[in-house]
Amino acid sequence: MLQYLGHIVLAAGVAPDPSKINVIVDWPSLSNPIALRGFLGLTCFYKRFIKDYANLMALLTTLLWKNQLNWIPESQQTFDKLNFVMTHTPVLVLLDFSIPFILEMDASSYAMGVVLVQRHRLF
């Protein structure tokens, strides 16, 4: 096991550092936009581990638009769900360069996405 830049590198793959995840789970209540920005920044660091992270964060991100924190029950549900998924993150598997992989790309006029697929798994 190797700790590296907020991650744990294992023989099975890469996982978030549990001490960093505990900081997210123990985050105090979000009472102002600055606290919400800090929380979103910390969770964003581990977004690659969270399926549909952008959809999950959409509601919390909209709270920052007018720089006012109008905390509603749906906001709390999203916050609680994010805390749950952060403690149940998968281990990301490392690429095996001895076997072929597929590079899938998608582009538009303002963005581009690239995904590596190997053995029917995304990387």
Q: What is the band of 24 on the pLDDT scale with cuts at 50, 70, 90? A: confident
pLDDT reported for residue 45: 78
pLDDT value at position 120?
A: 67
User: What's the pTM?
Assistant: 0.60
- The predicted-structure confidence for 73-108, as pLDDT tens digits, reads as follows 888 888 888 888 877 776 666 677 888 888 888 877
Rounded Cα distance between 5 and 28, Å, is 24
Q: Measure the CA angle with vertex 10, ends 8 and 84; round to 5°.
A: 55
Average pLDDT over residues 99-118: 78
pLDDT by residue (tens digit) across 35-50?
888 888 888 877 877 7
Cα distance between residue 69 and residue 37, in whole Å: 11
